[in-house]
Amino acid sequence: MKRKVSLVLSSGGSRGLAHIGVINELEKQGFEISSVSGSSIGAVIGGLHAMGKLPEYTDWVKTMNRQVIWGLLDFALSTSGLLKGEKAFAKMKTIIPDMNIEEMSIPFVAVATDLLNEREVIFKSGSFYEAIRASVSIPTIFTPVMYKNLLLVDGGVLNPVPIEYVERVQDDILVVVNLYGGKKNEMVKTSLSNIDQNSTRLNGLKKSMPKLGSSGYNGGLGYYSMLTATTSAMIHKIAKQHIERFRPDILINIPNDSANTFDFHKADELIKAGEMAAKEAFSKYLNS
């Protein structure tokens, strides 16, 4: 009989493409994913797997380059976020139709953050796209979501590794994929600065906004980079404490500087990184 796995997928921007590699390796090793929970990109990948549509998403994301990614960024220029996020999800819906979470083939939970009441909001039913749009609302980057009179932002703000919400079964294996592993490099530049600098739309955006990336002063951080680095430090600490509290059977760490927020053009590289990290973790577990 296949060993059942309760899978928890952390937040972490485009690094979450490594979650695909982990799922691929789990299935290759003969494990059965019996339930999944996720925050932000972890909710996206986890939900797509639960609805049986991860292969379609994988094929799509592998076609992305910087130009395609840029075309999916719909700038809001509002005080509550840079991006509306409507373009990307509209495109996804043409490839993968919406589905109610309760109709998925395996139990799935997405986590968002109720910003005003400082609490987690758990999605176990209703529209998949409604749940993940709330769960991926990175503060200052994506505009927040109004849901039942609540102001929702990224699930990773309060719970980047939602271990307590995954549905457990007897004798299952708790597997956690943490996108906040140790750094490979000392400094990570903002992902927006990596988007085609020659784009006329970006040049127009620069005229109306403060610098988003490096300030150019001795490699110092600009406004956006400083805000992102500060937020990331807090989320990394929460993730570490959460993992130490729940002690998963298998912990798969992906270096937190493997990619920046919008580096979806690195799909092949990140999926492979997930497969390799999972293979190593599973080998240690099975030989322990």
Catalytic residue, chosen from 154, 172, 232, 263, is 154
Non-local (6+) Cβ contacts of 50 within 8 A are: 36, 101, 104, 105, 106, 107, 108
Whether 154 is catalytic: yes
Cβ–Cβ under 8 Å, residues 77 and 85: no
52: left (phi over 0), alpha (psi -120 to 50) or beta: left
Please give the structure tokens belonging to residue 113.
Answer: 């953050």
- The residue from 35, 40, 191, 232 that is catalytic is 40
Query: Is there a contact between 72 and 86 (Cβ–Cβ < 8 Å)?
Result: no
**Of all helices (H) and strands (E), which one includes residue 50?**
helix 41-50
H or E element at residue 21: helix 18-28
The catalytic residue positions are 40, 154
